[in-house]
Amino acid sequence: MAKEPGKQTPGGSATRRKAEKTQTDEVVLLSGGNPQIPKGYGNEPVQAYIAAMPGWKSALGRRLDEIIERTVPGVNKAVKWNSPFYGVEESSWFLSFHCFAKYVKVAFFRGASLDPVPPSKSKHPDVRYLDIYEGGFDEAQFADWVKQASKLPGEKM
């Protein structure tokens, strides 16, 4: 029986497809279109992730990154678990995002403390999510959440 694209097979990994080439390596898109980027600290791996985001999501990733940098000067960056992370102290993170097939999910690690609280709940009581679909992004609200989140205790990971 043929496997559906993006579905797990028993004992196997998610369907992978090659993304556009970045400056030095080919990037693999995991199921749902999330770029597989090696773990790394600093701006370079985050920019590699953003460049590999498929379609309209890459422009959104650049915009998210720009807003975060403008709102939190000197923000720390890393790629962990195939997602960009942002923090104000070493190994202490307040935000991450991840590509899915039809949207980009932003995780605020202390989102339950933000005002207003981001719309989507998590299994973890402190975490809240913002799902951004093509053409549906309130930049002012996002910047306000980033400013608030950056002042809260970060998540050690």
The 10s digit of each residue's pLDDT in 21-52 is 334 457 888 878 889 989 999 999 999 999 99
SS3 56: helix
Q: What are phi and psi of 9, to 5 degrees?
A: -105, 150
Task: Name the CA dihedral angle for 75, 92, 132, 42, rounded to a multiple of 10 degrees.
Answer: 50
Those residues of the chain that have pLDDT short of 70 are 1-25
Residue 31 has a pLDDT of 78
Task: State pTM to two decimals.
Answer: 0.81
Give 17-156's CATH code, choosing from 3.30.2010, 3.90.1150, 2.40.50, 2.60.40.
3.90.1150
Residue 25 has a pLDDT of 55
So where are the chain's domains? Answer: 17-156
DSSP one-letter code for 113: G
How distant is the alpha carbon of residue 18 from its chain centre?
19
Residue 101 has a pLDDT of 94
Residue 9 has a pLDDT of 36
Report CA-CA distances (Å) from 152 to 72, 93, 130.
13, 10, 18
